[in-house]
Structure 1
């Protein structure tokens, strides 16, 4: 599992790739949960939270970039 500090150290491209991978895995887990039993049902929650963390960091970065580019 990736911690917040590890996510914040990643570049924007790495965050995008991590989010895409987590979304793919979440899709597979949801599909698997409907067709058969999951060995660890908590993986769905972990992936959802990872995606939310990544999106939060991306939003923070975009707001910081807007604040720095806009003259006060």
Structure 2
């Protein structure tokens, strides 16, 4: 998912998608350990999507704090 697509979403939607990605990440790790996973690039992609969403959530948090001070 691209950052521009994530920024369009509301905070609740991002948190929900983040939970889904974390669950998928856990499932992918189990598949790697058990030898069932064939597309290892998906692990890297999910990890990066999680990082993107966490970064954008942090940006939203800082922006709301900044607006609160002004």
TM-score (norm 1): 0.92
What number of residue pairs does the alignment pair up? 70
Are residues 1:53 and 2:56 paired? no
Larger RCO (alpha carbons 8 Å, 6+ apart)? 2
Q: What is the CA-CA distance between 1:30 and the residue it aligns to?
A: 0.3
Name stretches of at least 5 consecutive residues in structure 1 with no aligned partner. Answer: none
Q: 4+ residue runs of structure 1 moved beyond 2 angstroms? A: none
RMSD (Å), alpha carbons: 0.8
Post-superposition CA distance 1:22-54 (Å, at most 9, x none):
000000000110011411001111000000000
Name stretches of at least 5 consecutive residues in structure 2 with no aligned partner. Answer: none
TM-score (norm 2): 0.95
